[in-house]
Amino acid sequence: MKSIDDRSLILALVFLALMASACGLGPSKSDSGGSSSKGGSSRAASAFVPSNDPRKDFRDALDKLKTAYPFRLTETMSGNANGREIPQGTRVVDFAAADRSHANWTNGPLGDTEVITIGDKQYTKVANGKWTEGAAPRAAQREGSPERMRELLASVIKEVKYAGPETVNGVACHAYSYSIDGELAGQRWLGTAKSWIRASDGLPQQIDSELNISSVKEKSHITYEYNVNVTVEKPAM
C-alpha cells in the first residue's frame, strides 16, 4: 500500500498532466521562449491554422477552451514511486461551465474520490465517505481550468516542436511535442509530452506525457470530448 506521502506526490502530478490541455503550438520547429448542458458550445467553429508564434497559438487555444463548455476530460495514469508500482487510476471530469464541474477518480491519489465544484463552493467525498463542503479554490488553482494551465505554461513547458499533421481516432489534428523542465510546488519537474490539437477548431483532442519528480515516475493519457451531456448538481449532504 502506498504511503500518504507517495499519494500526495502523485496528486501533484495531476496538475502537470492538465497543464497542456490546449497545446496547439504552431509550426515553428522550436519555441523561443444543478445545471444540465447539451451540446451547442458557444465557441466559434473556425479551422485551426498554426502560426509562426507557438506561445501565441498556445494562449489562443486556451482561450478557446474557455468557451468550449460543456466538455469532458478523461485521464488514465500509471507509474511508480520509490520503485513501487502505482496501480492505474482513471479520472473523468465533466465541465458544465467555468465554475461548475464534477470529477470522479477511480483509484486516485487518495483512493476513489468525487469532487463537485459549483460557484464558490466545493464538495468532496473520499473513499465512499461523507460529503464535506468547503470553499472552492480560485480559478488559477482549479485543475483543468484555462487559468490554471496558462499559469503553468510560464513555468514548465519548454522546447516546443511542431510534429506535423496527424490523425487521432479518426480526427484530423496538428501534433506538437515538447519538453517539461521547471520548478513547481517546490519540486523539479522533468519529462516529455505530445499533444494533438483538432484541425477543425483548435481544441485539444489528446495529450500523452511521461513525467519525473524525484523518485516518482508517471505516465498520463488524456482525451477530450465536446458537446457532451453534462449535469452538475449539489450533492445530498
pLDDT in tens, the chain (237 residues): 333 333 333 333 333 333 333 332 333 444 444 555 444 444 446 899 888 877 777 777 777 888 899 999 999 999 888 888 888 999 999 999 988 999 999 988 788 999 999 999 999 999 889 999 999 876 555 555 566 666 666 677 888 888 899 999 999 999 888 888 988 778 888 999 998 989 999 998 998 999 898 778 999 999 999 999 999 999 998
Distance CA 57, CA 11 (A): 29
Cis peptide before 204 (omega within 30 of 0): no
Give the model's pLDDT for residue 34: 54
Give the model's pLDDT for residue 2: 37
Q: How far is CA 17 from CA 64, 74, 123, 207, in A?
A: 19, 11, 23, 8
Give the model's pLDDT for residue 124: 95
Domain ranges of the chain: 4-232
Half-sphere exposure of 53 (CA within 13 A, CB side): 6
The position carrying cell 494533438 is 196
User: Between the CA atoms of 132, 134, 138 and 143, what dihedral angle is there, to the nearest 10 degrees?
Assistant: -10
Distance CA 169, CA 183 (A): 34
* Alpha helical stretches, state H, 20-72: 54-65
Which architecture characterizes domain 4-232 according to CATH?
Answer: Clam (2.50)
Report the Cα 236 to chain-centroid distance in Å: 28
